[in-house]
Structure 1
């Protein structure tokens, strides 16, 4: 939980620095219009963009060095113009002494926060993998995570009487298909099914990869059994469409079987009972292969 809070805080800080950057950029455009001197403003903007890029790619120290040289160059230009053409350069151009530093600083801070967020996300993913709650191949949560989440869903059911259902998806005749498919085709099949699961379910439905030996996907829903079956049928329809469009799998006769079970407080005692009941229901799915 702390890691998630840290990630949210870091993401918020990155957004704040982005807004500050855009705000200062807008202010710069206004000041450029108000100050006139198109040639100088164009040159200074080009040098400012160079400062931003140097800071972004090489860090704050090279960016500060470039900004220092930029400020020095501005001073020389002002002295030269005032000596040769008279003191007619307006003071409004002095904003260029501050703007490049501000833009470079905001870009640097935004980049640092984004890199920090990436590290936190990687650490969180590594932590989930170590705990057995995240499958590397399918990028889905595992049985360990599903049991933990199901306890929360079940407690919600007990308090607020919201129906809780587990839906299960398996590949029909997987053992026979496996002997006829290459490793590449199997990998594509697992990835395709996982992608369909995540893309087709609602945002508040959670998808899982439950078994690697007998590929089994699960979805945890706040819905009754009939509602869950509608969601499972939607997954199967989407799977059939993706399958037909797949160059590796389109010629194979592959289909899914599904089952759903709703939590029953009087007959079930823990999440395993709910999951096992849903898996059992897949054995009764005798729908036509597609």
Structure 2
């Protein structure tokens, strides 16, 4: 049994205990005649449970012990001053708030552990997996796998295979002038522009977000890929001008185009790196 399974079982156990204790409390309240005191104690108990949830087990324990002490003082006062007899069954209020707080805290703590574990697992999957969470595009892992298929198709059927690599011109300088929201808007706008400007059978990838890099795999020759690249550049400039958060910045794209060459390239990494290298020579506006 792994830690997640153990935490899940314990969360269920604590939930059942909490519901059982709450049901027992309801039955005991029905058996005691003092409605006003029961209502007051029930309200305080709910406050103690909430306090334990938000402020932790130590604060909850201190609050519960304080409540027990106050109950003892109330009982002593009523017996000594007013000679009022408090039913012995009311003793359950000394322990029930503490037990309810403890079981509720145990349940929520195990659920928090599961949530943290799931968040870490999701982050690991996204890091190692095939999709980027921020742009919803395929990542480098998927690019390498798909490029291998494109390359094999080229070998068998002699179809031209080209990759287009896209980056932001002078990204390091622009990033220093951008807010975090502008950065997210830029990633989304660029990704959406590239996806919208490509054909249905062309696949778009997000290769890097430290230095934002996108890639497209195409069954096309270099002139055809250049047409696609020019179309992306044109649509990108229009969308930047229309963007409220980005139109104050002069943001341009640089594009590198590389065709698969079995004599010069040995792997999809060579293919990708050739396209990245070509972005250095895109100096035209």
Match of residue 266, structure 1, among 254, 263, 266: 263
Does residue 246 (structure 1) correspond to residue 231 (structure 2)? The answer is no
> What are the Cα deviations for residues 186-210 of structure 1, in whole angstroms up to 9, with x where unaligned?
1100100000011110000000000
- Aligned Cα RMSD in Å? 1.5
In structure 1, runs of 5+ residues without a counterpart are 1-124
Partner of 1:195: 192
Does residue 138 (structure 1) correspond to residue 135 (structure 2)? The answer is yes
Q: C-alpha separation between the residues in 2 aligned to 1:126 and 1:280?
A: 30
Does residue 165 (structure 1) correspond to residue 158 (structure 2)? The answer is no
In structure 2, runs of 5+ residues without a counterpart are 1-121
SS of the aligned residue for 2:230 comes to helix
Q: 1:133 deviation in Å?
A: 1.1
Q: 1:131 deviation in Å?
A: 3.9
Partner of 1:51: none
Q: C-alpha separation between the residues in 2 aligned to 1:201 and 1:247?
A: 24
Q: Answer yes or no: is the 8 Å Cα contact 1:229–1:259 preserved in 2.
A: no
Partner of 2:201: 204
Total equivalences in the alignment? 164
Q: C-alpha separation between the residues in 1 aligned to 2:169 and 2:201?
A: 27
Q: C-alpha separation between the residues in 2 aligned to 1:277 and 1:215?
A: 17
Q: C-alpha separation between the residues in 2 aligned to 1:249 and 1:214?
A: 18
Specify whether residues 130 and 257 from structure 1 end up closer, same or farther in structure 2 by C-alpha distance, changes over 3 A only: closer
Does residue 287 (structure 1) correspond to residue 284 (structure 2)? The answer is yes
TM-score normalized with structure 2 length: 0.56
TM-score normalized with structure 1 length: 0.55
Does residue 219 (structure 1) correspond to residue 216 (structure 2)? The answer is yes
SS of the aligned residue for 1:260 comes to strand
Q: 1:144 deviation in Å?
A: 0.5
1:96-135 aligned at under 5 Å gives the runs: 129=126, 131-135=128-132
Q: C-alpha separation between the residues in 2 aligned to 1:233 and 1:126?
A: 35
Partner of 2:252: 255
